[in-house]
Amino acid sequence: MKTDIIQKLKEANLKGRGGAGFPTYLKWESVLKNNSSKKYIICNAAEGELDLAKDKYILENYFDEVISGIKIALETIDNSSAYIYLNKKYSSLVDKKIIEGLDITIIEEDTGYIGGEESSAINFIEGKNPEPRKRPPFVSEKGLFDMPTLVNNVETFYYISKINKGEYSNERFYMIVGEKIKGGVYELKDEMSIREILKLTNNYLEIPFYVQVGGGAVGEIMIEKEFDNLVSGEGFIRVISYEEDPYLLMEKWAEFLINGNCDKCTACREGTYRILEMIKTRKLDLKVLEEMFLTLEKTSFCALGKSIPTPFRSLINKVILND
Amino acid sequence: MINITIDGKKIIADEKKSILETARENDIKIPSLCFHSDNSPKEGCGLCVVEIEGRKGLFTSCGTYPEEGMVIKTKTPEILKVRKTNLELMFSQHAEKCNDCVWSNRCRMLNLAKAWGLHINRWEDRKKNYPQYDFNKVITFDSSKCINCSNCIETCHKQGIDFLEVKKEGGFHIVVPSSEKNKDCVYCGQCVTHCPSGSFSGVDPSLKIEEAIKNNKYVVFQFAPAIRTSIGEEFGLEYGSVVIEKMIAGIKKLGAKKVFDVSVGADIVTIEEANELIERLTKKEKLPMFTSCCPAWVKFVEFYKPELIPNLTEVRSPHIVLGQIIKTYFAEKEHIDPKDVVVVSVMPCISKKYEIQRNELKGSVDYVLTTHELSRMFLKNDIDIKSIEGEKKDELLGFASGAGVIFGSSGGVAESATRTACFKLLNKKLDKIDFKEFRGEEEIKEAVIEIGEIKIRIAVVNGLLNARKIIENHLHDFDYIEVMSCPHGCVGGGGQPVPTSKEIRRKRAAGLYEIDKDEKIRIADENPIVQNIYKEFLTDKNIIQKICYTKFSKKEKEN
Ligand code: FES
């Protein structure tokens, strides 16, 4: 049974759907092979990215599948207990009856963006500040209460259940948003191009537009000539017409990030604030921006801080400066 | 041990020491700000970043540990560039109020900014309108200077107080005093010595003291045991250097009429406290007996553990006792109106500022000046204790035994009291004077002292969380417990110079034990000045009670 599900996950080539895209079977293997007396499973349902609500959709429609994914993990990993680390806003979507009798505890959180990062989640469950931890050690070796911990996202658990039943054929969920489109959450094949996805879902605008892909705040901006790229990171596409004010979008990102970060690192806390300040003046000083970007990328402690330059730099270069 | 290379230098490193510490031990300078050796690495300021060959990005060296074969670079152009930006960004939040900062000319932020030619006012200070909190006129917390390193939070937590906490407001995490009813500041001042940006400080009375001097008051200074081995630091002397006579000369130059040694008060406290201990032991009541010369500890008991109030020794603390004696015995001897006498205690401590406000003690001492505040008064008046000609202590209340001097280190009170208890109970000269079992920086020390028939089980604790542990788990394993709130006792006090570290505190304490070792008189009871006071002044129970004893009471939240 144990090697069975690992083998299935491996064959299905399932990658974590929390955004990092790490092969799921490797995480499982790592937790399994550790011979610790206690292990933990966390279903990450914090979904804190800007405008992203695909896990919400899954919880609304397939909560039982998610639970059966967690159940498989509980059965596979000896002496394990599970937590659902749940965004408070999704509280009502969870049917507590389904988890009755199972070793699953729901922890509600309202920690914002950074609280959704897996090691922040662990800190929060332990009653500490939701701040990222340093790696190594990886949480699969030393996670919750210092025990090996498997952290998978809602969507990942959903597909684990599907894979176990032999019902998976390479799908994933995409969330598409935009002022000028209908948008929504769609379950489509993995590894589709931006263009295919937008066309298939009727979200391809007639007027010129560009997109943000992979995350509502830190996703990269892509323009028409890149529409044949695959969607990487989170299954998220924002459709933005050239009629919209790109500065407003940048303000929205910056405000979201300032509000959602943990404020530990100077560059992330103060640098992002100065970026917002500059955007508000509508006068971009590219030299100063690059200085902030470099410092964010190089000296932020966690992946969030390091990825902050991505949306701004790509929007400014590809759309505002248009080169 | 493993082999690594830093900036081309081959180093044999200990995997348990961070890259930052390893580099420093090998004379490779890496700037740091949020790292404090007493705390866990914060990895936030971004000044200590280094490059590790084969790995993407930069790493905070304060929290990254060496691995076999690592090749580390600490000074690439990219590193220098991002360090500068991070420091400018820290200045962009921090309101520069340098004139009265505890860091004086040792501010690492400012010194680095100067060395790197930075523009510290590149942005308008984000926190310029952040509030300033006053904790009972004892400690000021100016949150506009905070750089979010969270060392204060960890420090307060390690004291078991958790009065300082992080709150989220307007998208930012800010440090605030807790509004919870069951949490209150005990004024230990460890936040002051662990804040890299000078956001915390003691409330400075120096202007009022200057005023008193100007108004021709009879101003008497008394200095605490732990000052003599730390004040030198403020003037660039080696850690642990003993500075007494030059400091006295400096204080005299400020306009003080007399300068006395709080250690004399400590000798009296030792005698009284040993008496009280022997009495409690014989009657087997109110045991264990706790020391009470640390006001932060007293406040801790009164607020967090009021059920233990009866266990505190009722003997007043040394500077209060001596303050009383100055205003009575001394004033009378010198024919001065006690109303004209202003007593200033120079203390390594912030909580002493709180102690003198207590109703039961009011009037004994008028002002408490910290080591740092005294040095600032010197600076202001062009007094350099390196070059000034030394002066002797004023005789009347100037000479202390070695026992009175070691009060400044954790274990000193217990050792002094043990010396006196042995002396009293055995009624003869001691063959053993040194009780080394009480010395050193360990947070909890234990010993059983056998004096003839009597066995005294003694614990020496520093740090309030440790005290809590003893109280909650081992209260009845001991007869006598010395508690000091600060690491290594008063040498690590909240009013001591910054920076502080284990090593620095160790040197300050070593200086005190050096003095004790060389002193001819090392037992409080043998101090001729003290003998004289008991002969001439502390002659009966009532007067002793009035001068030397106090009461405690349950405290409500004050902040
Ligand atoms: S000293 Fe290492 S990040 Fe601040």
CATH of the domain at B238: 3.40.50.1780
Distance B28 CA to ligand 1 centre (A): 16
Clarify whether residues B166 and B222 are in a common domain.
no
Q: List all residues of chain A from 93 to 152 with a beta carbon under 8 Å from chain B.
A: 129, 134
B100 CA: distance to closest CA in chain A (Å): 25
Distance B40 CA to ligand 1 centre (A): 11
Phi-psi sector, B299: left (phi>0), alpha (psi -120 to 50), beta: alpha
Mutate to test the interface with B, among A258, A299, A307, A308 (most CBs of B within 10 A): A299
DSSP one-letter code for B163: -
Chain B residues contacting A via beta carbons under 8 Å: 42-46, 49, 57-58, 60, 63, 78, 81-82, 85-86, 89-90, 92-93, 123, 126, 147-148, 150, 166, 171-173
Do B45 and A266 count as a contact with CB atoms less than 8 A apart?
yes
Clarify whether residues B128 and B38 are in a common domain.
no
Quick one: pLDDT at residue A1? 54
Do A274 and B171 count as a contact with CB atoms less than 8 A apart?
no
B41-66 residue pLDDT tens: 999 999 999 999 999 999 999 999 99
Of B58, B63, B171, the CB nearest to A299: B58
Mutate to test the interface with B, among A266, A287, A288 (most CBs of B within 10 A): A266
Do the beta carbons of residue B199 and residue B146 sit within 8 Å?
A: yes
B262-283 residue pLDDT tens: 999 999 999 999 999 999 999 9
Clarify whether residues B515 and B439 are in a common domain.
yes
Q: How far apart are CA B111 and CA A208, in angstroms?
A: 53
Q: How far apart are CA A99 and CA A82, in angstroms?
A: 11
Domain that holds residue B539: 207-548
A51 touches chain B (CB under 8 A): no
Judge if the beta carbon of residue B150 lies within 6 A of ligand 1. no
Clarify whether residues B230 and B192 are in a common domain.
no
Q: Is the peptide bond before A137 cis (omega within 30 degrees of 0)?
A: yes
Best residue among B39, B48, B50 to mutate for probing ligand 1's pocket (most ligand atoms within 8 Å of CB) is B48
pTM over the 0.90 mark? yes
- Phi first, then psi, for residue A244 (nearest 5°) are -80, 155
Clarify whether residues B162 and B233 are in a common domain.
no
Distance B48 CA to ligand 1 centre (A): 5
B394-427 residue pLDDT tens: 877 888 888 888 989 999 989 998 898 888 888 7
A233-278 residue pLDDT tens: 889 999 999 999 999 999 999 999 999 999 999 999 999 999 999 9
Q: How far apart are CA B111 and CA B105, in angstroms?
A: 8
Residue ID of nearest Cα to ligand 1 atom 1:
B32
A274 touches chain B (CB under 8 A): yes
Clarify whether residues B541 and B416 are in a common domain.
yes
Residue B559 lies in a domain: no
Strands lying side by side in the sheet with B367-370 = B258-261, B218-223, B341-347, B367-370
- Mean pLDDT rounded to a whole number for chain B: 95
Distance B150 CA to ligand 1 centre (A): 12
Do A295 and B43 count as a contact with CB atoms less than 8 A apart?
no
A319 CA: distance to closest CA in chain B (Å): 27
Tell the CATH topology of A171-241.
Ubiquitin-like (UB roll) (3.10.20)
Judge if the beta carbon of residue B375 lies within 6 A of ligand 1. no
Q: How far apart are CA A83 and CA A103, in angstroms?
A: 8
Tell me: pLDDT of A191 over 70. Answer: yes
B162-173 residue pLDDT tens: 999 999 999 999
Q: Indicate the pLDDT class of residue A2, thresholds 50, 70 and 90.
A: low
Residue B73 lies in a domain: yes
Clarify whether residues B127 and B57 are in a common domain.
no
- Please count the residues of chain B: 559
Q: How far apart are CA B232 and CA B239, in angstroms?
A: 7
- Locate the domains of chain A by residue range: 2-164, 171-241, 247-320
Q: How far apart are CA A216 and CA B427, in angstroms?
A: 82
As beta bridge partners, residue B347 has B370
Quick one: pLDDT at residue B404? 85
A10 touches chain B (CB under 8 A): no
Do the beta carbons of residue A278 and residue A284 sit within 8 Å?
A: yes
Q: Give the range among A92-96, B25-29, B329-333, B544-548 with minimum mean pLDDT.
A: A92-96
Q: In chain B, what residues touch A124 (CB-CB under 8 Å)?
A: none
Residue ID of nearest Cα to ligand 1 atom 3:
B43
Sign, CA dihedral A186-A191-A192-A193, equals positive
Residue B557 lies in a domain: no
Judge if the beta carbon of residue B47 lies within 6 A of ligand 1. yes
Tell me: pLDDT of B290 over 70. Answer: yes
Q: Give the start-end residues of each E strand in B393-522.
A: 444-451, 454-462, 480-484
Do the beta carbons of residue A116 and residue A48 sit within 8 Å?
A: yes
Q: In chain A, what residues touch B60 (CB-CB under 8 Å)?
A: 299, 301
Atom of ligand 1 nearest to the CA of B20: 2
Q: Provide the token pair at B61.
A: 């060296």
Tell the burial category of B8 from Cβ atoms under 10 Å away from its Cβ (0-12, 13-18, 19+): exposed
Q: How far apart are CA A101 and CA A1, in angstroms?
A: 22
Judge if the beta carbon of residue B87 lies within 6 A of ligand 1. no
Domain A2-164 homologous superfamily, CATH = NADH-ubiquinone oxidoreductase 51kDa subunit (3.40.50.11540)
ipTM: 0.92
Q: Which residue of A has its CA nearest to B79?
A: A298
Residue where one domain finishes, among candidates B63, B90, B117: B90
Q: In chain B, what residues touch A252 (CB-CB under 8 Å)?
A: none
Q: Provide the token pair at A130.
A: 């939701």
DSSP one-letter code for B136: T
Quick one: pLDDT at residue B507? 97
A52 CA: distance to closest CA in chain B (Å): 20
Residue B556 lies in a domain: no
Q: How far apart are CA A122 and CA A134, in angstroms?
A: 12
B442-480 residue pLDDT tens: 999 999 998 888 889 999 999 999 999 999 999 999 999
Clarify whether residues B366 and B497 are in a common domain.
yes
Tell me: pLDDT of A18 over 70. Answer: yes
Q: Indicate the pLDDT class of residue A136, thresholds 50, 70 and 90.
A: confident
Do the beta carbons of residue B212 and residue B342 sit within 8 Å?
A: yes
Tell the burial category of A277 from Cβ atoms under 10 Å away from its Cβ (0-12, 13-18, 19+): middle
Q: Provide the token pair at B469.
A: 């542990």
Residue where one domain finishes, among candidates B155, B173, B201: B201
Quick one: pLDDT at residue B520? 87
Give alpha helix (H) positions in chain A: 2-12, 24-33, 54-76, 96-99, 118-125, 154-164, 194-200, 246-260, 266, 272-281, 286-299, 303-307, 309-315
Do the beta carbons of residue B490 and residue B348 sit within 8 Å?
A: yes
Q: How far apart are CA A195 and CA B405, in angstroms?
A: 81
Q: In chain B, what residues touch A263 (CB-CB under 8 Å)?
A: 148, 172-173
Count of domains observed in chain B: 3
Quick one: pLDDT at residue B424? 83
DSSP one-letter code for B160: T
Residue B153 lies in a domain: yes
Do A270 and B58 count as a contact with CB atoms less than 8 A apart?
no
Q: In chain A, what residues touch B150 (CB-CB under 8 Å)?
A: 264
For the segment A130-152, the average pLDDT, to the nearest whole number, is 91
Render the burial of B82-96: b for 16+ CB within 10 Å, e for the rest: bbbbbbbbbbbbbbb
Q: In chain B, what residues touch A294 (CB-CB under 8 Å)?
A: 78, 81-82, 85
Quick one: pLDDT at residue B426? 81
Do the beta carbons of residue A144 and residue A12 sit within 8 Å?
A: no
For the beta carbon of residue B284, count every other beta carbon within 10 angstroms: 8
Q: How far apart are CA B157 and CA B163, in angstroms?
A: 8
Residue where one domain finishes, among candidates B66, B90, B114: B90
Quick one: pLDDT at residue B453? 83
Q: Give CA torsion, residues A262, A265, A270, A274, to 10 deg.
A: -100
Clarify whether residues B138 and B255 are in a common domain.
no
Clarify whether residues B463 and B412 are in a common domain.
yes
CATH of the domain at B154: 3.30.70.20
How open is the CA angle A106-A108-A112, to the nearest 5 degrees?
Answer: 140
Residue B148 lies in a domain: yes
For the segment A107-120, the average pLDDT, to the nearest whole number, is 88
Q: Which of A6, A77, A1, A7 is nearest to A38 (CA)?
A: A77
A194 CA: distance to closest CA in chain B (Å): 29
B196-239 residue pLDDT tens: 999 999 999 999 999 999 999 999 999 999 999 999 999 999 99
How open is the CA angle B365-B371-B376, to the nearest 5 degrees?
Answer: 105
Q: In chain B, what residues touch A262 (CB-CB under 8 Å)?
A: 173
Quick one: pLDDT at residue A323? 59
Judge if the beta carbon of residue B139 lies within 6 A of ligand 1. no
Q: How far apart are CA B246 and CA B388, in angstroms?
A: 6
Judge if the beta carbon of residue B113 lies within 6 A of ligand 1. no
Q: How far apart are CA B122 and CA B124, in angstroms?
A: 7
Q: In sequence order, which residues have a C-beta less than 8 Å from that of residue A166 and are 6 or more positions away?
A: none
Judge if the beta carbon of residue B49 lies within 6 A of ligand 1. no
For the beta carbon of residue B38, count every other beta carbon within 10 angstroms: 17
Distance B36 CA to ligand 1 centre (A): 9
- Mean pLDDT rounded to a whole number for chain A: 94
For the segment B29-49, the average pLDDT, to the nearest whole number, is 97
Residue B529 lies in a domain: yes
CATH of the domain at B60: 3.10.20.740
Residue B554 lies in a domain: no
Clarify whether residues B131 and B74 are in a common domain.
no
